[in-house]
Structure formats: structure tokens, C-alpha cells
Chain A
């Protein structure tokens, strides 16, 4: 009878593993979060002076968006911010991809399995829409709302994608959303919130995940 019990327990754990592995992408690397956080802090440092110059009162007053003329000062400054932001994003994605691919290989899992596809789709749909929304904000001159909006949409994307990977990522999503809302109450201080949300929170999350799932 002892054998039977063991067999039943094994069956149950096998069922549970199959259910979990076929719906969740478990190769997401914790360290990639840490790197993304560090890169975000570097990015924030690069734009620190320009950012606070920009949000100082009257900085863009010489040319208003109302007369329809291109505000070159604004275009260049915002452009620089965008380039740094995109650079941070691209570098983070690249590092994340490499580390995740390594983890998948180590565990003998396929990188682009059905769970990975669902994860990416559910992450990028809200994220992409958020990106478009931010472009619209900039075009209308609401530059100050960009940082809160990116945090809010990123949080929503993470929360949504949480169905398809470690559930813990939802906590990060919630934190980013809350931070986004708070940031909206302190417009013009966006960079602090941005550095905290994309930098500090990523590092904390990444380390937690590394300790919980990757180390061993």
C-alpha cells in the first residue's frame, strides 16, 4: 500500500508540474531585472540636469505650442530624453533576452514555447498602447505626464503578463501602477519616480526573484 501512496503523490505532482509549465514561462531571469534597474539608473543620471532644466518654470515659454511653430529647443531636449530612454530600453531587453535564453538552456527548456508567446503578447499589447499614448502626450505638450503614464502602463502590462510567468511579477506591476498615479500628483518630478520605478524597483524585484528561483 505504501507504494500506491507514493505513486499517487507522484501523479499529483506530475499533473501540477505539467499544468504550471505549460501555462507559465519560467525561464525569466531574475538577474535581468537587476541589470535593467542599473541601466535605468544610469539613464536617469545621464538626463538628470537636462530634465530639471526642462521642468523649471518658464523654460519653454519663449515659443508656445499654440502658434503651431515647432519648438526646436523642446524637440532637441525631448529628443535627447527619448534617445536615452530608448537606449536604456533596448539594452535592458538585450541583456534580459541573453540571460533568459541562458536560463532556458540551463533547464533544458525551449525559449519560445507557447507560454513565452502568450507572455510577450500580453505584455506588449498594453505596453505598445501606452507608448502611443505617451507620443500623443508629447505631441500635445503634456511632457510632464509622460513619466507617470509610462509607469502606469508598464505596471498594467506587467500585471497582465503575470498570468503567464512567475505570479510575483504582479506585485511589481502593482507597485509601478501605484507609483505612476502618485507621480501624476507630483508633475515635474517625473524623473525621481521614473528612476525609482524602473531603477530601484527593478533591482529589488530582480534580486528577490534571483534569490527565490534562480540561485542554486
Chain B
């Protein structure tokens, strides 16, 4: 099946797909904003982000706002490439159907 090989297992999860979709169009998004946008709980999002981080799809920035630590994320070059390839794969698969 054409395009199938381009699909990325990492994006099978809706949460990871959601995180990547947001980051591909936004620079540096705060953890809290991601959580809210995807309507998730803390633990749930953290594990998905950790796995994206392990694949080096994300850049991480930690800083202090007052006394509270704040983590922000940005899509990395690798991540962007992977996401684009996944999208191309989806597109090819759907085109093949018509």
C-alpha cells in the first residue's frame, strides 16, 4: 500500500498527534497550555511528552516564573520532518483510495 510505510508509529496516539499538531504551528508552548488545549490530566500528558522527547521530536526549555518552574516545548527539526512525513503518508493513503 503506497504511503503506508511513511506513517509514524509515534503518532498513533491521539495525544502525541495533538501535541505535534499544536507545536508545528506555534513557537514555544507552555506545558499548561498544551494540557488545557488537549483537555488532559498532568500524568497523561507528561508520559506522552516524555516519549516524544526521547525521539528528539521536541526541544524543551525550563525556566522560573517567580518561584514556579515552567516548562515550554518547541518542535525540533527532526520532529517537524517526522510529522510532515506522517502527513504525507496519510495523504498518499487517502489519495490511493479514490
Distance to closest chain A CB from B61 (angstroms): 16
Please tell me which stretch of A17-25, A76-84, A89-97, A126-134 contacts chain B, meaning at least 4 of its Cβ atoms lie within 8 angstroms of it: A17-25
A167 beta carbon closer than 8 Å to chain B: no
A-chain residues with CB within 8 Å of residue B81 when the two chains form the complex: none
A11-B26 in contact (CB<8A): no
B45 beta carbon closer than 8 Å to chain A: no
Residues 162-177 of chain A: 1 if any B CB is under 8 Å from the residue's CB, otherwise 0? 0000000000000000
B-chain residues with CB within 8 Å of residue A23 when the two chains form the complex: 25-26
Rounded to whole angstroms, the CA-CA distance of A11 and B36 in the bound complex is 20
Rounded to whole angstroms, the CA-CA distance of A8 and B4 in the bound complex is 11
Tell me which of A5, A15, A18 contacts B37 (CB under 8 A): A18
A15-B97 in contact (CB<8A): no
Rounded to whole angstroms, the CA-CA distance of A4 and B26 in the bound complex is 29
Tell me which of B24, B26, B94 contacts A114 (CB under 8 A): B26
B-chain residues with CB within 8 Å of residue A22 when the two chains form the complex: 21-22, 25-26, 29, 37
User: Which A residues, 113 to 129, have Cβ-Cβ distances below 8 Å to chain B?
Assistant: 113-114
A-chain residues with CB within 8 Å of residue B17 when the two chains form the complex: 11, 14-15
B36-A19 in contact (CB<8A): no
Residues 70-98 of chain B: 1 if any A CB is under 8 Å from the residue's CB, otherwise 0? 00000000000000000100110110010
B14 beta carbon closer than 8 Å to chain A: yes
Size bracket of the B interface: 10 to 19
B-chain residues with CB within 8 Å of residue A182 when the two chains form the complex: none
A-chain residues with CB within 8 Å of residue B91 when the two chains form the complex: 12
A135 beta carbon closer than 8 Å to chain B: no
Q: A14-B14, A14-B17 are in contact. Are A8 and B93 (CB under 8 A)?
A: yes
Residues 13-39 of chain A: 1 if any B CB is under 8 Å from the residue's CB, otherwise 0? 011001101110000000000000000
B97-A18 in contact (CB<8A): no
B94-A18 in contact (CB<8A): no
B33-A19 in contact (CB<8A): no
What 20 additional pairs, Cβ within 8 angstroms, besides A22-B22, A114-B29?
Answer: A4-B93, A5-B93, A8-B93, A11-B11, A11-B90, A12-B87, A12-B91, A12-B94, A14-B18, A15-B17, A15-B87, A18-B18, A18-B21, A19-B24, A19-B25, A22-B21, A22-B26, A23-B26, A113-B36, A114-B33
